Amino acid sequence: MAILITGGCGYIGSHTCIEMLDAGYDIVVIDNYYNSKPEALRRVKEISGKEFPFYECDIRDAEGLRKVFSAHKIEAVIHFAGLKAVGESVREPLMYYDNNVAGTVVLCQVMAEMGCKRIIFSSSATVYGTGNPSPLKEEMPTGAVTNPYGRTKFMIEGILADLCVSDPEWSAVLLRYFNPIGAHESGHIGEDPNGIPNNLMPYISQVAIGKLQKLSVFGDDYDTPDGTGVRDYIHVVDLARGHVKAVGYALEHNGVEAINLGTGVGYSVLDLVNAFKSANSVDVPYAIAPRRDGDVATCYSDPAKAAALLGWKAEKNVEDMCRDTWRWQSQNPKGYDE
């Protein structure tokens, strides 16, 4: 019996492969390499000291998926495969609905056909939209999203919930990630964004290494302690371990559950800049810039449900997140392109 990991070559997927292997699971990985490189999985194998099957396969390719499900006995799927750039989703909405929403529908159709009805889905805190106060709890209303990327996550949550209603054999765990940052402790795998990063932590680390000149801090007039945006940053290895727990849960329970994966603690942009500087003894020049469209002032989780249902809580602190990001960035200034 094995767990299929879609998008397992990407940032969160590669870290999850390691934690799943360490926990003793057999895994099978598929990815279409749209936003990742084979080198990531080569390093996963090196770090874990284990081999596993990989297929270059698109989740929209039903025939390709059938071959994978026929070759292996798949008990459950961890579904990371998806596109995630907010700005790009505004410019290319159909590409996002096709890849993320239609792709998930094809995946679930093949799963049902092959008798595998357990899925752990990568959702996002973005589904809480703009109307809810932090700490964000799973029972709060969702759907007031500000962009097509967020809408794909909201739509897929609804599709998986409908599936669980239609057939009580289905189990769907909707993991709502807060802000994953950091890298594996080894420094061998981490986030390798294409082009100029959109997200704060990869931007900070590329400024620190001199690839980018200075960070623009998007707004210092929010209603927060220092005026800059507050987020719930979570170490990617903690997040990966949350998936191991979620697989255990999905194997034992049917029905749908949305579960936050966050620390429950908010840090401002300037908190993170200062933590990065002091953890790594590097400089991070920055300038205050206008607010970014679609940003909220504050977003952090109530992580109680993950503790209660999964027995999981984040263990790493912001210093670990900054130190591990820098180890990856400084050892791999060109990402996986060495």
Q: Which stretches of the chain bind ligand UD1, using CB under 6 A?
A: 84, 86, 124, 126, 149-150, 179, 198-200, 203, 215-218, 229, 231, 269, 292, 294-295
Contacts of 257 by beta carbon, 8 Å cutoff, 6+ apart: 172, 173, 174, 249, 309
Q: Which amino acid is at 198?
A: N
Instruction: Considering the complex, state which of residue 198 and residue 330 has its C-beta at the smaller distance from ligand NAD.
Output: 198
Out of 33, 38, 141, 290, the only residue in the binding site for ligand NAD (CB under 6 A) is 33
Out of 12, 174, 318, 321, the only residue in the binding site for ligand NAD (CB under 6 A) is 12
Out of 81, 145, 265, 306, the only residue in the binding site for ligand NAD (CB under 6 A) is 81
Residues in the chain: 338
Strand-strand pairing, 118-124 and 171-177: parallel
Instruction: Considering the complex, state which of residue 43 and residue 231 has its C-beta at the smaller distance from ligand UD1.
Output: 231
Write out the binding residues for ligand NAD, residues 91-150 only, by CB under 6 A: 99, 103, 122, 124
Nearest-CB residue to ligand NAD?
Answer: 10
Give yes or no for residue 31 binding ligand NAD (CB under 6 A): yes
Strand-strand pairing, 230-231 and 267-268: antiparallel
217 binds, among ligand UD1, ligand NAD, none (CB under 5 to 8 A by kind): ligand UD1
164 binds, among ligand UD1, ligand NAD, none (CB under 5 to 8 A by kind): none
Please say if 149 is a catalytic residue. Answer: yes
149, 203, 249, 300: the catalytic one is 149
138 binds, among ligand UD1, ligand NAD, none (CB under 5 to 8 A by kind): none
Active site (catalytic) residues: 149
Q: What residue ranges bind ligand NAD (CB under 6 A)?
A: 6-7, 9-13, 31-36, 58-60, 80-84, 99, 103, 122, 124, 177, 180
